[in-house]
Amino acid sequence: MYCSSLNNIVIPEGVTEIGQEAFAVYYLNSPIGQESLVLPESVETIGENAFAGHRFETVEVKGNLKELGYNGLGEVGNTKEENGMCTLGNILLAYHADEKNVVVPDGITCIAGRTFAKKSMVSITIPEGVTVISTGTFERCGA
């Protein structure tokens, strides 16, 4: 059974991993609206769909993630979108365009899971600062 009554989630310093579907609430008709989610510096890994079904006005990631699974943060209100790139600070969460030649922007350090899945690109340029390419980032992509 999923925790549909959670309206405040506080992750303490010291937690290093939030597992797949840890706080997921799939069966609801609409996402649970919440003000914010702050992930402490200790969090390194967020599993696939960890916060699926949640809609956060803001998310703050204080540390540097080593893995961010597909849909790991649920819906996030404070993202920026430019040239089809949906970002949250230094994290590339999603790619919504269909360009054949893709350039990941400078300043990105983490690319979330399935960001480029099923895209028909022929080339991608990843900047030197990227340290994390999460599981399934390029799943089934190709021309």
Please give the chain's pLDDT, 143 residues, in tens: 456 566 678 899 999 999 999 988 876 555 667 778 999 999 999 999 999 888 889 999 999 999 999 999 998 999 999 999 999 999 999 999 999 999 999 999 999 999 999 999 999 999 999 999 999 999 988 75
What is d(CA 131, CA 35) in angstroms, rounded to the nearest whole number?
A: 29
pTM of the model: 0.88
Q: Map tokens 């991993």 to a residue.
A: 17
What is the secondary structure of 80-107 as a DSSP string? EEETTEEEETTEEEEE----SEEEPPTT
Asked if 32 contacts 59 with a C-beta cutoff of 8 angstroms, the reply is no
